[in-house]
Structure 1
Amino acid sequence: MEFSEVVRRRRMTRSYRDDPVDPALIERALENATRAPNAGFSQGWAFVVLDTPAAVRGFWQVQTEAAAEGGTPDRWLAGMMTAPVVIVPCSRREAYLERYAAPDKARAGLQQRDANRWAMPYWDLDTAMASLLILQTVTDAGLGACFFGLVPGRVEALKQHLGLIDTADAEAPHPIGAITIGHPGDPAAGARGSAARRPRVPWRQVAHRGRWGAGWASHSADGEGD
């Protein structure tokens, strides 16, 4: 599949068939994920792969009250729980603080290993870019995937469940979300995404040449704006 086709076809899948996912695809997706750009080549990411029925069920039980108590899941949850694989991408802040304390990064002025001195948490940003490569790899293989946020108030419980526990010597990786993977099922069986209710904003309405508010005017062949 051409790259542009992968970009166009990628959608958040919210319902899956129970067909197994080829482990080779998961490994390829993880390999591609580690090709994502990352500040200072810190590579401060980690991926917890849940690919057995028991592991997947445990994830949902920790994340949702309905699954934990045997209640009736809503349409979104019912569709998402059918995915045979869940990947939990995690960021490792300490890897970035350590990398930028190295002598060759002195010009960045971040040797104090203080996360508050960073303009933004690049450990989360880079892990998110790695997650997108997982989504694109799955799309390229003809399967479906969905990245979604974790339930507020249940993140610590998930960290405990997955063994992501801080120690006196090291800070544990922090989950930034989760990715379901599987063969797409009947779309009607899952929740409708926001894209089904909201139009996609054309790129020309969000791109600005030179400065914010300038809008976008394409260059013609002679260099003039059109």
Structure 2
Amino acid sequence: MEFADVVRRRRMVRDYDPDRPVPPEVRERLLEHAIRAPSAGFSQGWAFLVLETPEERDRFWAATTGPGAPDGWLTRMRRAPLLVVPLSHKAAYLERYAEPDKGWTDRDEARWPVPYWDVDTGMASLLMLLTAVDEGLGACFFGVPPERIDGFREAFGVPAAYTPIGCISVGYPGSEDKRSPSLKRGRRGLDEVVHRGSW
């Protein structure tokens, strides 16, 4: 598929065919492409928790959602045969920039105008979303509620130094996949978001 087509076709898929697993070679391509993302100082401060067995996925949903019957969104999302949780590792950046070629030996987080550990992990996530489209799959990036992060860490033994920036569900789109009502807002045009030369 041409790159322009991949970009145009990328959307968040919220329902999956539970009977069609993601082929192992495709799963590996998703991850191989993710680690090609840019990272400040080539710090590569990311990790990816791959959940694909029914038990692993059920444990994820139990840790990250509330009690009671799941709503329609959750029912459809739980059908995804593959979940990948991208995690950022701030310490990798603070340590990298304390090395001689960078020289910020104080490891002061205030030196960073934005948390590049989260930005870079987000870029790795986008590469997975685009790869899914290129492979004929659907994917959705969604957040882990802040009040559920401790339970998520405990459920999977995630070290405190790693922060989940969200989760990516991956699979073949299901028959109930619907466009988000948010799309009715329309995509903002270049004339609204691009400022050339000055604001």
Q: Which runs of 4+ in 1 moved over 6 A?
A: none
Aligned-residue sequence identity (percent) comes to 53
Of 169, 186, 193, the match for 1:199: 186
**Letter of the structure 2 residue corresponding to residue 102 of structure 1:** E
User: Number of residue pairs matched?
Assistant: 198
Q: TM-score, normalised by structure 1?
A: 0.84
Contiguous gaps of at least 5 residues in structure 2: none
Paired AA for residue 15 in structure 1: D
| Paired residue secondary structure (1:65) | coil
Which of the two has higher C-alpha Rg? 1
Q: Displacement of 1:194 after TM fit?
A: 4.4
Match of 2:17 in 1: 17
CA separation in 2, counterparts of 1:105 and 1:193?
A: 44
- Where does the alignment leave 5 or more consecutive residues of structure 1 unmatched? 167-171, 213-226
1:185 is aligned to: 174
Q: Does 1:123 align with 2:117?
A: yes
Once the 2 structures are TM-superposed, how far is the Cα of residue 103 of structure 1 from its aligned partner?
A: 1.0
CA deviation map 1:132-157 (0-9, x unaligned): 00000000001000000111200111
DSSP 3-state at the match of 1:82: coil
- Shift, 1:162, TM fit: 1.5
Question: Matches of 2:151 and 2:23 in 1, distance apart?
Answer: 29
Q: TM-score, normalised by structure 2?
A: 0.95
1:48 corresponds to which letter in structure 2?
A: L
The corresponding residue for 1:148 is 142
RMSD: 1.3
Contact 1:144 1:182 in 2 (8 A): yes
Residue 90 of structure 2 is aligned with which of 90, 93, 104?
Answer: 93
SS at 2:146 equivalent: coil
